[in-house]
Amino acid sequence: MHSFHYQNASLHCEDVDLATLADAHGTPAYVYSANTIRDHYRRLDQALGDIDHGIEYAVKANSNLSVLKLLVEEGSGFDIVSGGELRRVIEAGGDAGKCTFAGVGKTREEIEYALREQIYCFNAESEEEVAFINTVAGEMGVKAPVAFRVNPNVDAKTHKYISTGKSENKFGVDFEVIEDAYARAAALPNITLRGLQMHIGSQLTSLQPFIEAVEKVAPLANKLKESYGIEFFSIGGGVGIVYDPALESGKPEWWSGQEEEHKPLTIEQYAAGVVPVLKKTGLKILVEPGRYIVGNAGVMLTRCLYEKKGSAKTFRIVDAGMNDLIRPALYEGHHDIVPLKEPGAETGVTAVDVVGPVCETGDFFCQNRELPNFAPGEAIALLSAGAYGFVMASNYNSRGLPVEILVDGSEAKVIRPRQTMDDILASEKAAL
């Protein structure tokens, strides 16, 4: 659930009217709910309460320092995929000793930095990577903690761009050779084998792939515990969120009204399915949620500039573009779109394309979707934009990055100011 709702006919984030934020800070703008982030973290922590566990928030989902600081205060660890993300965690008050470092292409500089900061573990994606980490650690006179990421060849049944657990994906070591990989790594002088990791994909809305994966990999974790004394088994992240209907899903009564066979996967169902298998390993269980924590904790506000009625379509042109939120263009990501002013029976609906100003045909947020009518000058919200939104934004077409705002109760704070053209040009002008 989440804290976005209509109140007095105006869309609110917690106790703050989003129209006032759009007027005060302009658009495009990202707005995040602090209490939604806290609630999602706490619900997951409670659901896993029967086992020794750690939550490693996936920084790539939303890496704003203020968001990370919220999670540091909750006691979270962090799943990072770059040296830059490790720096962000540290700047937010986090501890590298509670971070796991994933990713297929770690550089020497990143490995050295992580070792200096005493990273909890490198989640390695290949034997070649472990050999290189061994070399770097030896040159530094330290031992590097390592876990292999195993590819269990389980179909997550999600979009091909966010599926990671099949043999044809670039991630992890094939299940068939993983035990040999551990044996060879155990012989390296500067490596300490600390755990085992897997992750089968993102935005999973069915429990079955999770159960299939943990049932397949848990016996392997037991073997590695006996052979090498590993201390953790990370089962990755991937629990999906409700993108449609996003606004309604913020209400408890919506969830209770869903028929059981059609109800989206809840974190309680997820835990009930995997915990009995994981408990038998006796290992500390790590989970790496990203989207689940922040996805429905954020919206992107944008304002309608023009309506263009063509012979084939009606276009509503807004001031946000694919450079601000690329998910629809990149992998057909869906975002519900709602006006900030609550629509009534008299509002009417029209089938429209909501498009941005970027000079690309792929610069759209929806196509042929029936939406409540909104006019030029009115602001709208793209929901479920807290994950993989701002973090994937760019300066394409020399457009400045949006402002980011964090709402906590009745308080709204700018946590990253809107990027100006002077900001964009500063480093290039210095070279003239």
DSSP state string for 130-178: HHHHHHHHHHHT--EEEEEEEE------S-GGGB-SSTTSSSSEEGGGH
Structurally, the chain folds into a number of domains equal to 2
Q: Check whether 399 is labelled as a binding-site residue.
A: no
User: Is 212 assigned to a binding site?
Assistant: no
Instruction: For residue 388, say whether it is annotated as part of any ligand binding site.
Output: yes
Q: Which 3 state secondary structure label does DSSP give 420?
A: coil
Q: What is the pLDDT of residue 162?
A: 41
Q: pTM of the prediction?
A: 0.95
| CATH number of the domain to which 398 belongs | 2.40.37.10
Determine the distance from the C-alpha atom of residue 37 to the mean position of all C-alpha atoms in its chain, rounded to a whole number: 12
Answer yes or no: is pLDDT of 263 > 90.
Answer: no
What does the pLDDT average to over 61-89?
98
Q: Residue 346 is part of which domain span?
A: 4-8+296-429
Q: Is the dihedral of CA 317, 322, 327, 328 positive or negative?
A: positive
**Of residues 200, 109, 193, the one with CA closest to residue 157:** 200
Please state the rounded mean pLDDT for residues 29-58: 98
184 marked among binding-site residues: no
pLDDT tens-digit map of 226-245:
999 999 999 999 999 999 99
Verify that 89 and 222 share a domain, yes or no.
yes
**276 torsion bin: left (phi>0), alpha (psi -120 to 50), beta (else):** alpha
Q: Are 242 and 324 in a shared domain?
A: no
Give the pLDDT band (50/70/90) at residue 153: confident
Residue 82 has a pLDDT of 98
Cα separation of 239 and 382, whole Å? 21
Check whether 288 is labelled as a binding-site residue.
yes
Domain shared by 245 and 355, yes or no: no
pLDDT at residue number 166: 42
**Which comes out higher in pLDDT, residue 161 or 396?**
396
Q: What is the pLDDT of residue 423?
A: 97
Over range 186-200, report the average pLDDT: 97
Q: Is the confidence at residue 42, as pLDDT, over 50?
A: yes
CATH number at residue 109: 3.20.20.10
Q: Which of 369, 156, 163, 404 is nearest to 294 (CA)?
A: 404
Q: What is the set of active-site residues?
A: 359
Give SS3 for 186.
Answer: helix
Does the annotation flag 360 for ligand binding?
yes
